Amino acid sequence: MWVKRFGAGLAFVFMAAGMAGAGSIDWVVQGKGIVDSTFGFERFQADGDAWKAITENPVYPRVNILPLKIDADANKYLYVKMATTHRDNLIAFFSPDADAKLYKKLAVGLSGLVNDGQTHVYRVDMSGSKGWEGKIQSVMLELGGHYRGDAVIVSALGISKKALDEVDGEAVVALNQASHIIKHHDRMAIWQDASVRINDTIPNGAFMSYGIDRPSYLDGVVLAKIIPGVELHGQTVWAAEAQRLDIADEPGSVVAKFEIGGVKVETRFTVLMEGRDTPDWEGGAVYEIKTEPKTQVVLKVGGGEVFNVSFNTSNGGWIMDDTITYEGTECEIDKGRAFIKTTKHTSLVGLETDAKIDGGDFMTLRFENGAGSVQMANAREKARVEELLSKDAKTEVAAVEDYYGNLLSGCRIETPEKVIDEGFASAAVLMDYSWYWPYGWMESPHHWMATFHIQHTPAAELLGQTDRVVDCLIATAKKQYPDGEIPNFFPGGSPMPGIFGGSNQYYFWQVREHLRYTNDRETLRKLAASLDASLASVGAKYNADGDDLFAWGLQVGNQEDMVATPYNGTTATIEAINMMETRAMVAAALGDAKTASLMSVRAVRMRAALRDELWMNDLGRFAYYKDPTGYTALDGPYQTFIYPVIWGMLDELDSYTSMRHLRDRLMGPDGNVFASNNFAQHMLDQWCTWGMQTGEAQQPWGAWGLAKVGLRNETYLPLKAAAEWAQEYPQLGTWPEVAYENRVGYFSVPPALYIQAIVEALYGLQVDQPQGEIVIAPSFPDHWPSAKLTLPKYSADYSRKGGLLEYTVFTKDSLSRKLRWQLPPSEIEYVKVNGKKVDFETRPSAGCIVLEVDTVAQNETDFEVKLKPVGFELDYPASIAQGDAFELKAEGVEIIGIDDRSGLFSSIQYQASSLTATISDTLLDGYLEFGLLGQMNFSKRTFFVLCQPEKGPAFHAPIDLMILPAVEAAPTAPLAIENGKLSANLLVRNNTSAPLRSKAYLRAFGAEETFGMEIAPRSEKEFKVTLSGADASLVSVGDNAAQLLLP
């Protein structure tokens, strides 16, 4: 969690807490220094009499007010003076400690904020809040449920003995209790069918499993529920009374630390590595507990429930409550072991412990020495349960620790952005948690429990888990549907039809990437027939007219629930091309030249058809889709602009313009990629996967696209955004679906793509085993001094000092190297390979040069590049009107060529240091009818200047221009009636470089009024026009049509 802290006490105004009269507010702290630290805010202002900031994280923005001295016993009313906008709720956390920790047991959820941007005094009745007692030293205000960019002003915090309705002549706003807005999360660890959970509000635990008896991706099985307690003064005090609870996800386990009645308690719940080598339903776990000072521990253990966990993801009710017995459950004690069986599922649960066990409707375990453990196991047969319980618990827990220790030490990155490194580590753990042998990876083992859309296999290859990839590919092929459809899987291995648009394209993705990383012909030979059946299924469903342009159902990409391609579309056709080319690659690897040729020829034909039908040359990008009537949907989801770039549908200059549109219209301020503009608004502030969100799954694709076009200073930004969302509260490494979610996710597709994009886009390692080579195309930002990558089969070590760049790459297999480093325009002084100077080539690209060096096959290569960046300047206007004169001046480079592939100019001339041209006057034809939104989407154009520095190779400088109408007009006020006549106020802007002197004609409501117009170049002026002959009866509510005509 990233916390911004301010100088403590610099501007605090402390008053004697509890000394005010019963009829007044004691303002404990006020003024610009009221906030000690924050989370989720930016652009701070601590001036005047208040603290001000802008919301960055719209779900969990928090201000921490500390240190305080509040006598909670004497003062039961809390007051906050603040101003808010668009906020749905407020949670007031408080603590007897002077820190900024969130204790959900010490919190009150509230509603009723006025949200008018004005300062109000709000009253909170704390008399019913358990824990509001003794001395309170910190208050944390969480202002969730609103929009990014909203302003917050906090100016004072106060208390009183009695409820006050008025302060300084202004009414006090009483806030309403709203406990439901406090979210309760279950932290978990998973291995195959088994999982362990501990709640982060009340530290009850559960040993759980998927629903195996009855296929479901929503149901979870409570094998055993544990309620811990301690014996104090002859009474058992249970976990519901726990205070200062701190929950931590540790690889393979969940750890809870808390206090009960002054006793410090620590529990560790570890899921054991059982069940991945057998199709049988079984698993194991160990629950450990210890106290300080040593105090007798009591555990209540029950189980036997099956319920829908998907709709209990953040309310925690079932695990937080004190329910421990369930209908149909029996508990028995047999030879010192305890067993739980139920009529609701077929798995028997066994417990092995050194505690004293008492039976009944549930079991009570007592550890008189203040510490102990419970080993748990489940299976359908009692003999197997006892066999699992006979294993040494300490040895099994140590094996889990060793397993994850080895995973994280062998799979890690080191960059200047710590959160990116942390995101990589948590992604590797979640990849392991979600692996479900042999079928694939659960989308979310927490609450969305099926192997939907599998895009995990390349990450598994990189993590050294190729055996899992092979198992998944073969298991899927064995359960393929007769019509060729690729199945998804329920827990237990029951197939389910591919939802949304199906999973066929993902299966081809898995096969292609497995071939690329391993050249495993043996496995491919087993899959060829499945690929043919799948391809035929997709063709019959989405290319029924046989024109080689494909439609698609929902989710041609991942987690865009309501995004479809109803007719011939760009992304759908590219996925079909990928499938054809994958089939060709597999055929070539297997020596099937006929199939390879057939598929390759068809893919080439499809590429040409796609370009002819959907490429928009003037805009420099593809359209979304075209329907049978010829109507073209112009603006598509993010894949429309990224896929053509990364899958080689475009050259480097067209790739730049395609990504330019993505950067202009679908990227947020942090470099985060949104799914589409195809909905009424973007969603950043709440959970939503319909297609308008900025989701975790979109970010790796953004990084791939940015890296492909050489935008090295931007490549890491989507990855950093994804990592921040994954590592910030409440996720803390559990990976949500979308940016800011108020529930933990454990979603596995985004971290899988994240790992692959880190390796392939950022570190630039692109393996091609069939060709025996690795392409090395790093995309590190200029300001990074170093970066390291460690994987089982690959490693990389990058450093930069000024103009000296060094990059060492290791591969376990001997592979030839193809260095394709996109660098800033520079003079390359030398290139060394393994310490020796070598010949190299460069070629121009969009905004950069590409350094090319090839080597023979080897295991470790050290590249050293000495460069001197070129200093140059291109001076030109960023926006210009249609038909206007354009001029560009160059310093530090010579202009040696122009590429105006979009038809931007009607005429053009250039010399070594300048360019003059006339902008075409028809560029916006067909687009202005979309209004202002259309202008934003369709007015940006690019041409390229081929620049030759005095020293160093040439490069293409992209010149991005916003094209404007020559004249724009808009009303500045509602229509008015003066002296019985309609009048209109118009703001007219002259976007050209020449003065506008003309008669103008305003035509509306059956009248035409002439008025004079004189506006300076690139400026605007307001006019009031009276429509003398207008028929007022033609005026309607809302917008009315009008025309402004110029000669």
Delimit the domains of the chain by residue range.
Answer: 4-181, 186-406, 411-762, 776-862, 873-964, 967-1045
Q: Identify the CATH number of the domain defined by range 967-1045.
A: 2.60.40.10
Out of 2.70.70.10, 3.40.50.10860, 1.50.10.10, 3.30.930.10, select the CATH number for domain 411-762: 1.50.10.10
The closest alpha carbon to 569, from 508, 632, 616, belongs to 632
Helix H segments across 361-519? Answer: 382-389, 393-410, 418-434, 457-462, 466-478, 504-518
Cα–Cα dist 249/200, whole Å: 11
Q: Is the peptide bond before 293 cis (omega within 30 degrees of 0)?
A: yes
Dihedral of the CA atoms 512, 513, 515, 518 (nearest 10)?
180
Distance of CA 619 to the CA centre of its chain: 28
List of residues 6+ apart from 156 with CB closer than 8 A: 27, 29, 30, 31, 34, 79, 80, 81
Cα–Cα dist 710/777, whole Å: 9
Cα–Cα dist 296/369, whole Å: 6
The closest alpha carbon to 831, from 811, 857, 794, 805, belongs to 805
Q: Give the pLDDT confidence score for residue 394 in this predicted structure.
A: 97
Whose structure tokens read 């509040």? 70
233 touches 227 (CB < 8 A): no
Among positive and negative, which fits the CA dihedral 932, 936, 937, 943? positive
List of residues 6+ apart from 802 with CB closer than 8 A: none
Q: Is the peptide bond before 730 cis (omega within 30 degrees of 0)?
A: yes
Q: What residues pair up with 124 in beta bridges, in sequence order?
A: 78
CA distances to 187, 205, 244, 247, 778 from 184, rounded to whole Å, are 10, 13, 15, 12, 42
The closest alpha carbon to 96, from 142, 134, 141, belongs to 134
457 touches 507 (CB < 8 A): no
The closest alpha carbon to 269, from 343, 170, 340, 375, belongs to 375
Rounded to 5°, angle at Cα 21 from 18 and 23: 120
The SS3 call for residue 218 is: coil
The closest alpha carbon to 703, from 773, 759, 664, 747, belongs to 759
Give me Rg for the CA atoms of the chain: 33
Cα–Cα dist 751/455, whole Å: 10
Tokens of 471: 């198992």
For the entire predicted model, the pTM comes to 0.94
Give the architecture (CATH level 2) of 776-862.
Answer: Sandwich (2.60)
What are the φ/ψ torsions at residue 304 (nearest 5 degrees)?
A: 100, 25
The closest alpha carbon to 331, from 305, 300, 303, belongs to 303
Whose structure tokens read 């942390």? 422
CA contacts within 13 A on the Cβ side of 186: 29
Q: Identify the CATH number of the domain defined by range 873-964.
A: 2.60.40.10
351 touches 334 (CB < 8 A): no
186-406 fold: Beta-galactosidase; Chain A, domain 5 (2.70.98)
Helix H segments across 312-438? Answer: 317-320, 382-389, 393-410, 418-434
291 touches 230 (CB < 8 A): yes
Q: Judge residue 414's burial from the number of C-beta atoms within 10 Å of its C-beta, 0-12 exposed, 13-18 middle, 19 or more buried.
A: middle
Write the pLDDT tens digit of every residue in 472-514.
999 999 999 999 999 999 999 999 887 778 899 999 999 999 9
The closest alpha carbon to 761, from 804, 712, 723, belongs to 712
Burial 431-462 (b: 16+ CB within 10 A, else e): bbbbbbbbbbbbbbbbbbbbbbbbbbbbbbbb
Distance of CA 497 to the CA centre of its chain: 27
| CATH fold match for the domains 873-964 and 967-1045 | yes
Cα–Cα dist 809/794, whole Å: 7
331 touches 363 (CB < 8 A): yes
Cα–Cα dist 564/885, whole Å: 42
Those residues of the chain that have pLDDT short of 70 are 1-23, 47, 146, 311-316, 680-687
Whose structure tokens read 């109000």? 120
Annotate 788-825 with DSSP letters as a single string.
EEE-SSEEEEEEEETTEEEEEEEEEEEEEEEEEEEE-S
Write the pLDDT tens digit of every residue in 175-198.
999 888 888 899 999 999 999 999
Tokens of 967: 């004249």
Give the architecture (CATH level 2) of 4-181.
Answer: Sandwich (2.60)
707 touches 699 (CB < 8 A): no
85 touches 145 (CB < 8 A): no
Other CB atoms within 10 Å distance of the CB of residue 582: 24
Cα–Cα dist 844/896, whole Å: 12
Per DSSP bridges, beta strands 37-39 and 166-167 are unpaired
Distance of CA 248 to the CA centre of its chain: 22
Q: Is the peptide bond before 438 cis (omega within 30 degrees of 0)?
A: yes
Cα–Cα dist 493/805, whole Å: 50
What are the φ/ψ torsions at residue 482 (nearest 5 degrees)?
A: -55, -30
Q: Is the peptide bond before 67 cis (omega within 30 degrees of 0)?
A: yes
